[in-house]
Amino acid sequence: DGGITQSPKYLFRKEGQNVTLSCEQNLNHDAMYWYRQDPGQGLRLIYYSQIVNDFQKGDIAEGYSVSREKKESFPLTVTSAQKNPTAFYLCASSSPRDSFQETQYFGPGTRLLVL
């Protein structure tokens, strides 16, 4: 089945530790995105990538890093510089950038908790 997978479902981070969240898609989408969602809030864009080996900062990139070495994969690292990392993290992908029928599809999310 085509879709977006995120792992793990739950992740625990110790103080000062970097953790990496996985996002994989087999939809052949060029663009991928990472969002952060806090309780009762909407989605805020962390990073996005429109093509392999290229990515851009979103609205709240501080304390996060990404890579895009393969079209299918867009891992997010939450670094120790992110002082308030507890949140629900959502990965999304979308159809080619020159399409006017833009649609983003989301993965199931990863909940990050700080110990």
Q: Are 8 and 111 in contact (CB under 8 A)?
A: no
- Binding another protein (rule: CB under 8 A), the pick from 48, 66, 73, 77 is 48
Judging by beta carbons within 10 Å of its beta carbon (0-12, 13-18, 19+), is residue 54 exposed, middle or buried? exposed
97: contact with another protein by CB under 8 A? yes
67: contact with another protein by CB under 8 A? no
Buried b (16+ CB within 10 A) or exposed e, 12-44: ebeeeeebebbbbbeeebbbbbbbbeeeeeeee
28: contact with another protein by CB under 8 A? no
Nearest alpha carbon to residue 110 among 88, 91, 93: 88
- Smallest distance, Å, CB 45 to another protein? 7
**Cβ-based nearer residue to another protein, 48 or 64:** 48
Number of residues binding to another protein, judged by CB under 8 A: 30
By CB under 8 A, name the binding residues for another protein.
Answer: 4, 6, 31, 40-45, 48, 50, 56, 58-59, 88, 90, 94, 97, 99-109, 111
